[in-house]
């Protein structure tokens, strides 16, 4: 572990919800919940105003609605979130070449590697400057933790939330960690926490006092050793700029259980094609095909098949997924399906002659190659207006969808630069004057962000 707090952890505050509040003046200071709005949807992010009522990420959306029925419930706009994330990550890379993104809104930075800091004073200055730059570029707030290790920097950023900075001075780590609950340490989830509590261990200091041998006895060799080291504030993990992708997968949760076996099979084929699109988009191939099935009773089954060599052939992945499905009983109903590929490589070992022969024989192509006309026909028949997404009206200008149903769509007309809440109007869902629109920049002078599937 280094002698200066030059590892920085950035965590954007309630990222998805904060983006929505920044783009919608009427939601600022209000409870906002972003996630899947169907009967089985889950919360992706909740604003701090919603968290006061107990709403949190991964909570079933139905439960969130019971806790805070008056919140704004919005469908995620991932293209916008990704674009803003790229702006933030760009600011981090100006600090150092060693930036380790963990998600769209979270990353580690090695300030020493970029000569941005060498001691506590310069590290604090770099952290404050970063927070100011993020607000200037995106209009959003981020919390920063600074410490001599990744584990401690992440703990510090959690203490800094929301919109703050916490620096842990070298030499104070043990005293700071000691009274904290065991769940503070990475890898200590509810099950491990309960196991430790039953053994009389509830704080980090009590983990250290228990000793390594006792932890190994309670948790096993690997977990026991790691937990004891963390309790002593030992963490030698470096910031790694490129994190290796271990698998590529897609999955869907269905609002109503699927009972028809043919429909289940078609869904698996569709998911296999989506998975291959992601695989090819990343320039990868893989040897192991994985099928995930969550049944009506919430039991989850995983089946896998390992091929002779890596593949990115959609037909091969579809056939393997179908074989795996044959071994699963779905008669009671299916609520979730997923297809994944692991054992990744940046090359394939397929029989090129066999592939060419299959193509000549009319082998089906990827779903995206044939589905677009169908999507357009469906869109023409019934236009969808997801809650929270941007629209433009020929007379009223730019706005966002508050809700839709019964052939009507309600729109609030405002922009990120509006002063106060905008006016609300309701239209027919097929009103020719209303059309989907691109998000507007959150900060004056920024560039617009394209929405997936929506033209300029």
Residue 247 dihedral angles phi and psi, to the nearest 5°: -160, 160
Give the DSSP per-residue string, 31-97: -EEEE--STT-BEEEE-HHHHTTT--TT-BHHHHHHH-TTSEEE---HHHHHHHHHHHHHHHHHH-S
**What single DSSP character describes residue 455?**
-
Cα–Cα dist 92/97, whole Å: 9
Cα–Cα dist 44/454, whole Å: 23
Q: Which residues contact 365 (CB under 8 A, 6 or more apart)?
A: 314
Cis peptide before 93, with omega less than 30 degrees from 0?
no
Element (H, E) at 228: helix 221-231
Closest CA to 319 of 351, 356, 363: 363
Please answer whether residues 229 and 266 qualify as being in contact, where contact means their C-beta atoms are separated by less than 8 angstroms: no
Cα–Cα dist 113/115, whole Å: 6
Element (H, E) at 207: helix 204-210
Is position 173 annotated as part of the catalytic site?
Answer: no
Answer positive or negative: Cα dihedral of 47, 52, 53, 59.
Answer: positive
Q: For residue 225, with 0-12 CB atoms within 10 Å meaning exposed, 13-18 middle and 19 or more buried, which class applies?
A: middle
Axis-axis angle for helices 212-219, 190-198 (nearest 10) = 120
CB atoms within 10 A of CB 98: 19
Catalytic residue, candidates 100, 106, 173, 367: 106
Cα–Cα dist 84/134, whole Å: 10
| Catalytically annotated residues | 106
């Amino acid at each position: 572990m280094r002698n200066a707090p030059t590892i920085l952890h950035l965590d954007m505050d309630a990222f998805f919800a904060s983006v929505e509040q920044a783009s919608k003046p009427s939601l600022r200071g209000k409870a906002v919940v972003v996630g899947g709005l169907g009967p089985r949807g889950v919360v992706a992010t909740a604003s701090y105003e919603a968290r006061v009522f107990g709403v949190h990420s991964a909570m079933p959306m139905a439960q969130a609605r019971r806790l805070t029925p008056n919140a704004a419930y919005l469908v995620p706009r991932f293209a916008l979130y990704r674009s803003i994330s790229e702006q933030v990550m760009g600011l981090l890379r100006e600090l150092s070449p060693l930036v380790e993104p963990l998600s769209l809104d979270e990353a580690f930075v090695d300030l020493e590697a970029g000569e941005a800091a060498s001691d506590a004073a310069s590290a604090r200055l770099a952290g404050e400057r970063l927070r100011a730059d993020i607000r200037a570029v995106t209009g959003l707030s981020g919390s920063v933790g600074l410490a001599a290790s990744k584990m401690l920097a992440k703990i510090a950023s959690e203490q800094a939330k929301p919109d703050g900075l916490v620096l842990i001075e070298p030499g104070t780590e043990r005293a700071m960690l000691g009274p904290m609950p065991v769940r503070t340490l990475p890898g200590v989830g509810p099950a491990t926490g309960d196991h430790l509590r039953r053994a009389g261990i509830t704080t980090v200091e009590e983990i250290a006092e228990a000793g390594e041998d006792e932890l190994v006895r309670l948790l096993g060799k690997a977990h026991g050793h790691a937990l004891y080291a963390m309790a002593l504030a030992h963490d030698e993990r470096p910031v790694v700029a490129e994190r290796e992708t271990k698998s590529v997968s897609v999955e869907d949760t269905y609002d109503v259980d699927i009972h028809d076996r043919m429909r289940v099979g078609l869904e698996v084929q569709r998911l296999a094609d989506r998975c291959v699109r992601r695989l090819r988009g990343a320039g990868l191939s893989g040897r192991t095909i994985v099928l995930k099935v969550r049944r009506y009773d919430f039991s989850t089954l995983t089946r896998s098949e390992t091929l002779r060599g890596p593949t990115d052939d959609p037909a091969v992945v579809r056939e393997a997924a179908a074989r795996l499905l044959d071994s699963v009983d779905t008669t009671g109903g299916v609520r979730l399906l997923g297809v994944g590929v692991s054992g990744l490589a940046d090359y394939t070992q397929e029989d090129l002659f066999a592939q060419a022969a299959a193509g000549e024989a009319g082998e089906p192509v990827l779903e995206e190659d044939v589905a677009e006309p169908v999507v357009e026909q469906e869109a023409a028949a019934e236009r969808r207006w997801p809650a929270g997404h941007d629209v433009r009206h020929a007379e009223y200008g730019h706005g966002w969808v508050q809700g839709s149903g019964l052939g009507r769509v309600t729109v609030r007309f405002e922009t990120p630069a509006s002063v106060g809440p905008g006016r609300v109007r309701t239209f027919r869902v097929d009103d020719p004057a209303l059309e989907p629109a691109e998000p507007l920049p959150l900060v004056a002078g920024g560039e617009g962000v394209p929405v997936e599937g929506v033209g300029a």
